[in-house]
Amino acid sequence: MMESPVLIDEVRDISRGRPAGRRAREARAEPPIRVRFASGAAGRLDPAKQRDRVWAEVLQSLRDSNKPAYVEIDPNTGYITSLLLPQKFMVAAIRKTDTDDLEIELEISHARHHLRRGHPGFQRMFETLERARREKSAVLVTESLDTSAIIDVRPAPLPSVRRRK
């Protein structure tokens, strides 16, 4: 089975799809919630699932505040399988731990942030964090919910200006 692709992007639109015909209406009482991202990528949420209804509200809030979302989208179904909230930080320090992982000190955060050496994107994320520390530039950091381990780092985009209709 393919791994879910990761997308970190601003939400452009959230809408309910329409069933295509009578059979589609009979098969599904509620059409899926469609989420479109700034890059043109799209994902779906199932309104029959409580988690997905909550995620739709969170994604709408992120859209309204021009903040990015970290989502994983199942390549076979197009459904969003994970939603996390990247945070914008400045990197204050990077230290090696006794386990050979890295402890990342992020400005204005009192939490301990760890970059695990075993993560497949370790080198890329380390280089991004080190560059941000040297250049005093912001990064978007996404952490797992259960371990506070850093799972994604990328340079923070410049704020976008969106026209409202």
- Which amino acid, 154? R
Give the pLDDT confidence score for residue 25 in this predicted structure: 52
Name residues whose C-beta falls within 8 Å of residue 30's C-beta, 6 or more positions apart in sequence. Answer: 16, 47, 48
147: its two tokens? 């371990």
User: pLDDT tens across 24-50, in order?
Assistant: 555 557 899 999 999 999 999 999 999
Q: What is the mean pLDDT of the chain?
A: 88
**Neighbouring C-beta atoms of residue 117, cutoff 10 Å:** 14
The H or E element containing residue 100 is none
Contacts of 6 (CB under 8 A, 6+ apart): 70, 71, 72, 152
Q: Which pTM value belongs to this model?
A: 0.81
The answer to whether residues 21 and 56 touch, using CB atoms and an 8 Å cutoff, is no
Q: For the segment 99-151, what is each residue's pLDDT rounded down to a tens digit? A: 989 999 999 888 889 999 999 999 999 999 999 999 999 999 999 988 879 99
First to last CA, the chain: 41
Cβ-based neighbours of 97, under 8 Å, separated by 6 or more: 103, 114
Domains identified in the chain and CATH numbers: 6-84 (2.40.50.110), 87-155 (2.40.50.340)
SS3 82: strand
Residue 1: what pLDDT? 38
